[in-house]
Structure 1
């Protein structure tokens, strides 16, 4: 029986090997619709039995369900095995492809690692990068990587060549200029003069050309603007023509109105001319008559001395063209100028036009200043009032003291008097000390001298005995204690005069008591004997010490003599050497 693979089987085959899905539940169907146990199918194949019961049908269904579940498990296991096999085959094929590619590269290109390392011996990073690449591909890759850098290098090289050429040209120009500067004062070439003239002409022509271009451009712009604004010219021209016509009409109207006035003016001017002629003629006639009358009067009178003409230089006002009104105005102007100078000085202005703004601004300042002055005056008056009041109160307080205040002032005065008395006493004491300073110094030195003289009075003897650390230092020449050592270092220097005074008094008192009476000869001999005995006792003590030292030295010598026999006893090494020597001698004798 051929089984068709269902979609469920396909889905389960895609699942991994360890994943097992639960089988789909099987429900019993009607016999007429069953695909395998249908009545029609069974009848067709003659596989029908009337003895079948529902129990037998359910058993058949159970068997079919078990078969389907087993088939499902089998398919899952088969799919997992196929998947593992596919993975294994894929891995083997990849390895074969890799090995084949390596063999093919070795066959085609050989082992290029050493060659590439030799080529790129100074570039470790490039060796690692291209060690498994053919030489041709290495060259192509390097060309691709360095294309931009090579392009930039070529550009910079070309730019360097250009700059070198420019630099050479500049150097040549510099050399030419240096030569010209060097030989400028020696000679001038005609070509140089001509070149200067031509250069000047060229510069002028360039300037003219620029000016012409600028003017042409300006005219072009003007023409363009005029053409653009041409549409507005017609109404403007029409209005201008109308204005001209109006002006001509106005002129005609004015002339029409002014013609009678002009005619009247002509008539009046003619009448004025005639009247002026008549008046001039009458004036001349009268002047002639007056001159005749003067001549007749001069002839009848006594002749006078002819006056000399005045010297024009002596007359200061001969050439002055000032009238009386002008002089008056001049005087007024001087007065006004003086006033302006005073105002400028008062307002601190350098020019006359600054006076009015300064005065205008100073009005407010003056008002404020007046206010400040008034306030200061009021403050001053208030201060004077306060000072007067303080003086009055001070007088009242000074003259109106309480009992405590009076007692305090009395106490202060008493203390001041006491301080003055103490100062006087101190001055007296200082003068007294100064007068008797020499006596005090002599007394101090005499006390120190007496104390030094009586230094050994009332002080027991302190014989010192040297204690040597060992017996080697007890030698005859080093025994300083053989002498009677009664000397001792001086005591501490005393500075207090009272202490020195008491010490001297005590010592002098004891000394005087010791020599108060004369000592009889028997007592003197007794004193000498006692002193001799004490001296001998002290010497015996020293001899006993010396005998002890001698005994100690003898004991040490005995110990040294006892230790000498021990030196003859051989030690272990000596015994070994003697035994070896003895063995050698015996061996020689036997030989």
Structure 2
């Protein structure tokens, strides 16, 4: 045996095979190919056995075949049993795993099947799908599964909004075009005026642009020429600079030489102006004097004298006021205008047309156009009112589910409030109707409780607070010598409690009477009850008899002032009172 095989430790499979003995199946080999028992080998070695015949070999082979068959059947049954046992074990383990998973899920998450069923009330398939899943995982799963649909829905919704906006713009443009086609002969649109102004501005801008372009081209050519002639400008400018400097020196020299003459010229000019003004004034005075000497003398009457002489007008003696004269002149002017108007309108060849008649056609046209505009605006206002009415009806009647629920909730609250108010009112009426009876019952019960105050009642114990512990001696009880008055307890207001207290007191009282009757060997309580009833009836009968006797009293005349004989009259009362007063005085004197 090789070393690596000898030193290798046995494997687990080898150890397991050693523990259990496995019988391998035996199959008969063909005699022609057998190593030791083949026909050729047996014939060569001449092996003979009288007890071993071909029939015995056949029998042995038959036994071996039956043994192998039973072995195969046994292996088959063993394998089936093993498979069934393993199947049962796997089913049991699977069930345990499933139950454990469900328990773990219930412990970690909780039983949310009912809540999920309520949330997914309208989706039965989703209820079955998510009934064993936590709520947060349900939301995530639904979000993941509906992501593509929501994305497509958002895209389509955005596209719908765009198309709606585009449709609205197209409808507005269409209405504008229809209005323009309909009213193109009625009035000029503001857009047309603006477009004309803009076109005019564009034309003017084009002209200006061309002029500016031409000027720019000219300046460019000038700059080009100047750049070409740049070499000739430097000597010219230098010579001009020298000339300017020379002329400056010359001017300064001339000014220096002419300053005295200029100052003298200013003085002479001022003197000349003064003499000229003086001569002009003298000349004017002389001319005025000569004119006065040449004018003849004329007598001019005063204003008062003119008033005395009077006015030489023709209409001096007409009885018209100033306002009447103005009205007459205005009437003449109007008559003249009417005559001219008649002449111009009635003649066949009119040369002058009055201003109002001349502009009347244009005014009529403008008035017709204004009337049409007013009718259009009125029609538009009527349409707007109709549209607003329709929209108002739609908004009032097109309520959402939330609004309907809110209105239903408000209606139910109002009904509940009405029922509560009715119940409150009935309760208040009930209390008011029975308040007097409750008061009388409570007062009567208080009287009974006051009568039975000392029954089943422990006396009040008042403990004195001593200043020190030495006064708490057993033979020095100073509180026994002092009497204290204690206020009675407050009356109970609850009728139920008063009734219970009264029943308990009466029960104790009757029990006490029974004990006394038994102790004194008296009659039972029933006999006392019968005696009480007899006495009560006797008192009642006597009271009724007294009432009858009072009813049978004699009646006297009312003139005497007395109705009943037992009642003293006024005189008797006076005499009795005087007698009482005299007795009191006599008693005081003694």
Higher relative contact order (CA 8 A, sep 6+): 1
TM-score norm. by structure 1 comes to 0.24
TM-score norm. by structure 2 comes to 0.24
